Amino acid sequence: MGSLDGRVVLITGAGRGIGREEALFFAAEGAKIVVNDPGVEIDGTGGDAGVAAGVAEEIVARGGQAVASTDSVSDWEGARRMVATALDAFGDLHVVVNNAAIERNLGLADLGEDEFDDVVAVKLKGTFAVTRWAARHWRERHVAGDRVDRAVVNTSSGSGLLNPLPTQAAYASANAGVAALTTVAALELGRYGVRVNCVSPSMARTRLTLEVPGVGAEPPAGGFDPLHPSAVAPVAAFLAAADCPVTGQVLSVRGSTVTVNQGWSRGPSVHQAGPWTVAGLAAELGGVPLEDPFDKLAQALGGALGVTGRDQLQEMINAQLDRR
C-alpha cells in the first residue's frame, strides 16, 4: 500500500528535474499520473513531445499508470485540456502539482517586456490557470455531494522568498506571487474540501539552478545527495496525501531540511500620534534595525561561496549583470 494509492495527480513541468522526480515518486506511491510538459528549453523556447512521453513510459514500465500531456500551462485552454486529460484517462482528479517554470536570467536594466511576461506567464499565470480549471471541476463535484479529499501543491523558490538572487527579477517576482496565491487559494477552496500548500525548493540541482554557486558541484559519492531534486518529492507527496491535515502553508525544502515559512512577518515598528513629518520619520526609523539584502544573500549562499563578504558578493552580482 502506498501513501497515494488511487489518487489521480496532474504534475506540470514533470518531464525533467523536480517535476520528473515527483512524478516517479508519486507513481511509486500508487498514484495515477498525468505527466505534463511541453518539453521546452530553459527559456521557454522550442518543444519536444518526447519529454513528457518518456516519463510516462518509464512509469508504465515500472508497473504504474501514467499518460502524457504536452499543453502549456500559460495557455488558458491548454490548462483546461490538461485537467480534462486527467478526467478522460482516469475518471477523476485529486491532486494538482504546479511545478512548471522557465527562466530569463538578465539584469533588470536588460530584461525586456516580453522576457518578463514569458516568465510570469508560465510560473504565476500557469499556476493560477491550472488551479482554476481544477477548482471548477472540484466545485462541481462538491456541489454534487462528492467529499473526496483534494489538494494543490504549488512550487515556489528560495529565489523570491528567501534568496534575493540578482538577474532573477521576473522569476523571483513570479515565485513570490505563487506563495501569495497559495494562501488565498487555501482560504477560498477549503469550502470544497481542497487543501492548498506550496513547496519552495532551495539549492536543488536542476537545469534552472546549475549556475547558482555551489549547485553544480559534484555530488558526494554514494549516500544521500542533498542537492538532488528527488529530495523535494516526499514533501510534495506528504502534502498530496488524502490524510494530510496541512493547508495554507509554504514549506522550504533544502536537502533533508523542511522549514515552515512565515511570509512577510511583522518586524519592529515606529508610531506617533498624528501624521509623520519626513524629518520625524527619518529620525525614528534611523534607529530601527533593518535587514540588508546583501546579508540575506550571504546567509543563503555563504556555504556555497565559502565567503560571506560584501565585496565577494558584489563581484558575483557584477559578473552576472555583465553577461549581456
Sign of CA dihedral 142, 146, 148, 152: negative
Residue whose entry in the numeric block shows the C-alpha cell 456541489: 143
Same domain, 109 and 138: yes
- Whether residue 15 contacts residue 51, with contact meaning beta carbons closer than 8 Å, is answered with yes
Domain count, the chain: 2
pLDDT at 317: 72
The list of the chain residues with pLDDT below 70 reads 203-227, 300-310, 313, 320, 323-324
> 171 an active-site residue?
yes
pLDDT at 202: 75
pLDDT at 122: 97
Alpha-carbon distances of 297 from 149, 168, 201, 303, 316, rounded to whole Å: 39, 13, 16, 11, 11
Domain that includes residue 282, residue range: 278-321
Alpha-carbon distances of 261 from 157, 160, 315, rounded to whole Å: 12, 12, 30
User: Which entry of 171, 194, 240, 297 is annotated as an active-site residue?
Assistant: 171
Q: How far apart are CA 163 and CA 171, in angstroms?
A: 12
pLDDT at 19: 95
Residue 54 forms part of a structural domain: yes
pLDDT at 87: 98
pLDDT at 217: 59
Residue 303 forms part of a structural domain: yes
pLDDT at 151: 98
Residue 265 forms part of a structural domain: no
What pTM, to 2 d.p., does this model score? 0.87
Same domain, 110 and 176: yes
